A and B are shown apart, each in its own frame.
Chain A
Amino acid sequence: MRPSDAGVSDDHTDRAARPRVRIQAEPSSRSAPEVALGDRGPLLERAAVFDIRDMAVAYGTKRALDWTTLKIYRNLVTAVIGPSGCGKSTFIRSLNRMNDSVPGFSLSGQVLYHGHDVYARATNRVEVRRRIGMVFQKPNPFPKSIYDNVAWAPRNLGLKTDLDARVERALRRAALWDEVKDRLRVSALSLSGGQQQRLCIARAIAVEPDVLLLDEPASALDPVATALIEELMHELKSRYTIVIVTHNMQQAARVADRTAFFSLDSTGSERVGTLVEYNDTETIFSRPADPRTRDYVTGRFG
């Protein structure tokens, strides 16, 4: 079943209503639509960072994610929720080509990032990841000092001027500076799990990406550290576009502006991840259009 049949109520993004030319012109004009489409409600004032069209992913012969079409908007937090194995991680990792190294990975459809095809032949995946940063489920700091963890990528990308200031800025934005400012030369492995995860966020934003992808960033953390990370996301979305995968529905309700619900679609014996519903978080949690969404968010998922 395709999401379009399954009641995906992404009615704000009626593609047919928008002239194609407009989409083609979008890449250079991240702020242009605000003028052009200002009378169509608040959401459309935002530029779409990702325009994902009919994306399907398979590993070898195993289909992992079926036709997914959705747009991710600038400076919003978009949550991706759903049961285990529904393709949440596959989805988010396909946005910055982290799946390329997975044997057998294949993707059809299009992932347009500011209008540029992420999977085009001329696209370089190092450049993609440079602009689309990622934070993983398990904190994975490098076995280096706190300072070097943050400074390593900027150094390698040639952003060497005022490195100290850059490191401080990143650590401040990740709400970690006050805790580590007196021990920047100490190994990052001496930090607590929650601190390590914020360090990973600082490391990701030190290269000033455009988008931050967070793959269950708080699932390995205690509630206090989780609250800190969630608070952080509210701060960060003014600067970055954030996509967060979470299996914690309360978390999605707390942090996200938009929520996409993925589920497993059983076609015959194969169970394939599929996008069921994508809408404002409030709508998803209070007036979901699809019964499967309702079952899941009310905890009646079987």
Chain B
Amino acid sequence: MLSEMDPTAPLTPSGNLRRRIAVSRLMTAAAIASAVIAVAALAIVVFAVASRGAPAISLGFLTHDPPQFGGPGGGIASAIVGTTLIVAIAAAMATPLGVLTALYLSEYARPRSRAAQMIRMALDLMQGLPSIIVGVVVFGLIVNPEHRESGFAGSVALAIIMLPLIARSGQEVLLLVPQNLREAADALGVRRWRSILGIVLPSALPGIVTGTILSIARAAGETAPLLILSGLFMPGTTFNLFGQAVPNIPMLIFNASEAADPTGFARAWGAALVLLVIILIANIGARVLLARSRARMSG
């Protein structure tokens, strides 16, 4: 073939190059279109929630409890406090466990060892676990023996959902820490744990924080386990997570959208917007903190 080519022919597409150019353009267009659709989906969700939720938002909406026996008026203060508490306790339980699990997998276990493989598989299975099942199990283990719904049980369920997300994403970013940094630390005669604390973890921190924030976002919107664990009928604002139902935003959205009175919908949209904003603030806040700590370090 090549020998038949005329090197003096004009440098315009010849042979099957036309077809190859067309295929290449098609694939490029498909990739761009997919990216646009993905962003559009997010934009539609945000826009829908913002446009319908915004009218409901007022200072009173954020600072008042909902009416005790349903009906219009009131705010969602108790749900905001409840969700913040439940998720914070869940994160406090899941984060250290998840990060330590990630450290075990990346720093201590031999990567091909049976134990490490089993733990990785278990975490992957946990990630795929339907949240309603987590809820039922925690219900059976914590709520049933006590015969009392509790926000703490909700925290435990959310922590179980968060743990594999933190551990697996943490492990992935720890693997990205250059091996030569570990070698450098080892060669100085510093103990392993010290090297991990002083060199490995700080290098992986941005990724670990991102993974944790994502898992918090996921947990904050989780409804099914709270449905079982925290009850449909909720008291006013409370800081006590034990022995009683704790109001929270996902449950409130669920209740309000089922409510008989027409203002319920508006309240549900408002609560949805609040939840979205809380997650957004947590996300941006973590990124700002990270950027600041990184700016200090990258000359």
B183 within 8 Å of A by Cβ? yes
A131 within 8 Å of B by Cβ? yes
Give min CB distance, A197 to chain B, whole Å.
Answer: 12
Q: With contacts defined as CB atoms under 8 Å apart, how many contacts are there between chain A and chain B in the complex? A: 77
B58 within 8 Å of A by Cβ? no
A187 near B186: Cβ-Cβ < 8 Å: no
Other A-B contacts than A133-B187, A144-B297, A187-B298, 10 sampled, CB-CB below 8 A, are A98-B187, A133-B188, A140-B178, A143-B202, A143-B298, A152-B198, A156-B190, A157-B189, A157-B190, A207-B189
A126 near B198: Cβ-Cβ < 8 Å: no
Interface of A toward B, CB cutoff 8 Å: 96, 98, 101, 103, 126-131, 133-134, 136, 138, 140-145, 152-153, 156-157, 186-191, 200, 203-204, 207, 209
B184 near A200: Cβ-Cβ < 8 Å: yes
Give min CB distance, A117 to chain B, whole Å.
Answer: 18
B199 within 8 Å of A by Cβ? yes
B183 near A136: Cβ-Cβ < 8 Å: yes
In the complex, which of the residues A129, A131, A140 has the most CB atoms of chain B within 10 Å of its own CB atom? A140
A131 near B297: Cβ-Cβ < 8 Å: no
B299 near A189: Cβ-Cβ < 8 Å: yes
In the complex, which of the residues A98, A142, A188 has the most CB atoms of chain B within 10 Å of its own CB atom? A142
B190 near A153: Cβ-Cβ < 8 Å: yes
A134 near B187: Cβ-Cβ < 8 Å: yes
Which residue of B has the minimal Cβ distance to A135?
B187
List, in ascending order, chain A residues with CB within 8 A of B280's CB: none
List, in ascending order, chain B residues with CB within 8 A of A157's CB: 189-190
**Bound Cα distance from A101 to B186, whole angstroms:** 10
A96 near B187: Cβ-Cβ < 8 Å: yes
B20 within 8 Å of A by Cβ? no
**Which residues 247-299 in B have Cβ within 8 Å of A in the complex?**
297-299
List, in ascending order, chain B residues with CB within 8 A of A129's CB: 186-189
A143 near B203: Cβ-Cβ < 8 Å: yes
In the complex, which of the residues A131, A152, A200 has the most CB atoms of chain B within 10 Å of its own CB atom? A152
**Bound Cα distance from A141 to B187, whole angstroms:** 12
B3 within 8 Å of A by Cβ? no
Give min CB distance, B186 to chain A, whole Å.
Answer: 6
B180 near A131: Cβ-Cβ < 8 Å: no
Given A129-B186, A136-B180, A143-B202, also A103-B299 (CB < 8 A)? no
Q: Which of B181, B198, B298 contacts A156 (CB 8 A)?
A: B198
Give min CB distance, B169 to chain A, whole Å.
Answer: 20
A140 near B180: Cβ-Cβ < 8 Å: yes
Q: Which of A131, A144, A186 contacts B189 (CB 8 A)?
A: A131
**Bound Cα distance from A131 to B187, whole angstroms:** 10
Which residue of B has the minimal Cβ distance to A185?
B296
Given A136-B180, A152-B198, also A204-B298 (CB < 8 A)? no
List, in ascending order, chain A residues with CB within 8 A of B184's CB: 136, 140-142, 200, 203
List, in ascending order, chain A residues with CB within 8 A of B180's CB: 136, 138, 140
Given A103-B110, A156-B198, also A130-B189 (CB < 8 A)? yes
A126 near B190: Cβ-Cβ < 8 Å: yes
**Bound Cα distance from A103 to B188, whole angstroms:** 21
B18 within 8 Å of A by Cβ? no
| B118-155 vs A, Cβ < 8 Å mask (1 yes, 0 no) | 00000000000000000000000000000000000000
Which residue of A has the minimal Cβ distance to B202?
A143
B114 within 8 Å of A by Cβ? no
A142 near B181: Cβ-Cβ < 8 Å: yes
B187 near A143: Cβ-Cβ < 8 Å: no
**Which residues 160-177 in B have Cβ within 8 Å of A in the complex?**
none
Give min CB distance, A214 to chain B, whole Å.
Answer: 11
Give min CB distance, B295 to chain A, whole Å.
Answer: 10
Give min CB distance, A155 to chain B, whole Å.
Answer: 9
A-B contact pairs, 12 of them (CB 8 A): A101-B186, A126-B191, A126-B192, A133-B187, A133-B188, A136-B183, A140-B181, A140-B183, A140-B184, A143-B203, A189-B299, A191-B299
List, in ascending order, chain B residues with CB within 8 A of A187's CB: 297-299
Give min CB distance, B184 to chain A, whole Å.
Answer: 5
In the complex, which of the residues B110, B199, B297 has the most CB atoms of chain A within 10 Å of its own CB atom? B297
B194 within 8 Å of A by Cβ? yes
**Bound Cα distance from A144 to B203, whole angstroms:** 10
